[in-house]
Structure 1
Amino acid sequence: MTPHPSYNIIGEERPGRWLLTCDHATNRVPDCLDGDLGLPASDMDRHIAYDIGAQGVTRALAQALDSPCIETDFSRLVIDPNRGEHDPTLVMKLYDGTIIQKNRHADPVEITRRLDAFHRPYHEAYERIAARREDVVICAVHSFTPQLKDRPRRPWQIGILSAYDKRFTTPLIAALRASETLAGEAARLGERFCVGDNEPYDGHLPGDAIDRHALHHGRLNVLIELRSDLIETEDDQEKWANLLAPILSETLTETGL
């Protein structure tokens, strides 16, 4: 593993075609922000601070696909690496009903400081690894909370997000929906298997990581959203990575992309 104050790279020497990424891997608040953002641990353990379970899935998928992965090592509440530098939600002051105390007065000088310390180094490393081979396929792993406050429960176990480049995502969604293994896993949980197409979020956010590193370069890409209650434990993270890896590989092979 290659560590950096803002990111980790794992398996950079692996020969696989994929690049696995995890933009919201941890809830760490760096020492330069006194190790907290004025929030209790109960809030920092919530989805508002990071994508629960996504780091473990990313690492396991990268290993299964014999490919490198890169992950952030700071909370998205410090600064969101999946937002463009001029996005108004880059440094959140209110998130899912919670006021982020130490972000309330973050001015342009403070935002630039966080960009230079965390956001920009991550994206520089991300681009360097993405450019290692011309046929790279970027697979971003995220997770979503089963239910937001005062909203109905979300029906999907997995969502596939994409913008206008659907070369890989359209056949992948079809393969996921046809998977008897995934349907069986959902049935074991007492659920109907449901794959979201640009659900629970829209797949195009100008300036986000996929836009910046995939769409602008014509690179194949997919953003996977997994429901966080399915991947809370290390065993479940390994299980979902092993469920998804062969479908990703087979879809890529069958499409000839």
Structure 2
Amino acid sequence: MADHPAFELVPGRPGVPLLLVCDHASNAVPAALGGTLGLPREDMERHIAFDVGARGLTLELAELLGATAILSTTSRLVIDPNRGEDDPTLVMKLYDGSIIPGNRAVDEAEVARRLAAYHRPYHDAITAHLDAMIARGEAPQILSIHSYTPQLRGRAPRPWHVGVLWDEDARIARPLIDRLMREPDLCVGDNEPYSGQLRGDCMFTHGTQRGIAHALIELRNDLISDAAGETAWARRLAPILAETCGLTEGVTHG
């Protein structure tokens, strides 16, 4: 499975104590797994395979904020880096009405191979970057960038434009929510469209367990489904995030 790197690393400006992570940046299936999970292309372009627009948004935010970014490079359907290793949804066999043919026969040995090839190297990269920041005497902060579908099949529409997910650590989340709520045209979710209190997820692992300030940002994916939307939202969010995270260097205007 060495044909496919487990993560993408985009270095930031020296001294910027912010790490951006994007757990569901890609819908790629490595060649070692056949390059496909047996799903039609229309399913692989849906939210079940990746977070639509999240990679582009993360890269633009990284450039504007000067932050380092670490992004996944495989579909969440291969193995979900935003789940703990013992989470029953680590490798999904059914998601939002679609059966995942390539995962139907996945056994413990195959899960172990995918953990070793894709899941652990991604998290090891995050750990290594945070360790290096701390060693330099910096106080790191982490923002996780995601997107969500406006409506799950058979469910009510989701009205929020942006949501902030968090657990017991409100150091970034609370001021960020308060700041976003001052935007007159935004519907802001506080732990919506779902809760950020998930043991074993990426922010729990690298934020909560290490005492590092963090928050997860969810954008409704119809707002960032093309390059224009990604750019518009990056430029809108960047100064808000710089203010909330106390980035003294501010924002580079693209």
Normalising by structure 1, we get a TM-score of: 0.91
For residue 246 of structure 1, the aligned residue among 239, 245, 249 is: 239
Name the structure 2 match of 1:211: 204
| Cα pair 1:15 1:67 within 8 Å, conserved | no
Name the structure 1 match of 2:148: 144
CA offsets, 1:110-131, max 9 Å, x none? 0000001100111101111122
Alignment of 1:98-137 (within 5 A): 98-134=98-134, 135-137=139-141
Give distance in 2, aligned partners of 1:160 and 1:97.
Answer: 26
Give distance in 2, aligned partners of 1:89 and 1:14.
Answer: 37
Aligned length: 241
| RMSD of aligned alpha carbons | 1.5
SS of corresponding position for 1:132:
helix
The one-letter code matched in structure 2 to 1:5 is P
1:170 aligns with 2:183: no
Give distance in 2, aligned partners of 1:253 and 1:15.
Answer: 13
Give the unaligned 5+ runs of structure 2: 248-254
1:57 aligns with 2:50: no
CA offsets, 1:10-68, max 9 Å, x none? 12554311101100001000001100001111110000000000001101111111111
The one-letter code matched in structure 1 to 2:158 is R
Q: Percent identity?
A: 50
Give distance in 1, aligned partners of 2:116 and 2:122.
Answer: 10
Name the structure 2 match of 1:42: 42
| Cα pair 1:130 1:138 within 8 Å, conserved | no
Give distance in 1, aligned partners of 2:177 and 2:197.
Answer: 17
Give distance in 1, aligned partners of 2:12 and 2:236.
Answer: 23
State the shift of 1:207 in Å: 0.5
Normalising by structure 2, we get a TM-score of: 0.92
| Cα pair 2:4 2:30 within 8 Å, conserved | no
Give distance in 1, aligned partners of 2:132 and 2:230.
Answer: 27
Name the structure 1 match of 2:165: 161
The one-letter code matched in structure 2 to 1:244 is L
The one-letter code matched in structure 2 to 1:107 is D
CA offsets, 1:196-216, max 9 Å, x none? 000001111111100001111
